[in-house]
Structure 1
């Protein structure tokens, strides 16, 4: 895009924003909101190109499939979130062997 065309588009957008009372912060927050709603990638190649699986298949994926690669090869591994199990707390006050030589022995 040429510098002149770019400046023209910026001027047009500024004029329209003034006309509708849109502040730059309003625009920034709307853009940020759209980015958080994007779906995660379902397919990705080694160079980082990705596709959510919605809409038309991207060219890089079409080319790979036509070259003999399987779609499943590009699936992003989605491991289930690891849930930490709550650790049991032990009340040693009721342990009859606490402090005795038996409690201090190590299993070999």
Structure 2
């Protein structure tokens, strides 16, 4: 049976009305469950992302919880809720601002002074490297410590009939 445009529009309107009523009933249930959870956990509006400038609900929750951020201090902030701890790739908001002519110092927060002395000492300590000892040499001045993949000169020498014992030295 062929339906007219008007009949289909009438069915669409009826279905839309039915969908709106069903959605309203579901929303009432969802709101009740959310209110129960808020009361149970004692959540605040700020934790839920309300009243936090420029952020989403998840971003504001993560910013307020040091355990989620791994306990790192926020070293850089743009004042709009965007922060960066100085580890990993620079976030896009900071890259864009730097490309627009701002300097990194414009975004530095006050927590850096607390963290900087520890990290500077840690970096100085990690700079010390143990020198690798040379175990194998050839006559042309090439050497290999015996660690890591064999260099091409050593592979060529071994393929040419020499042994590691011949190159020891």
> Given the two structures, how large is their TM-score scaled by the length of structure 1?
0.39
> Given the two structures, how large is their TM-score scaled by the length of structure 2?
0.26
Larger radius of gyration: 2
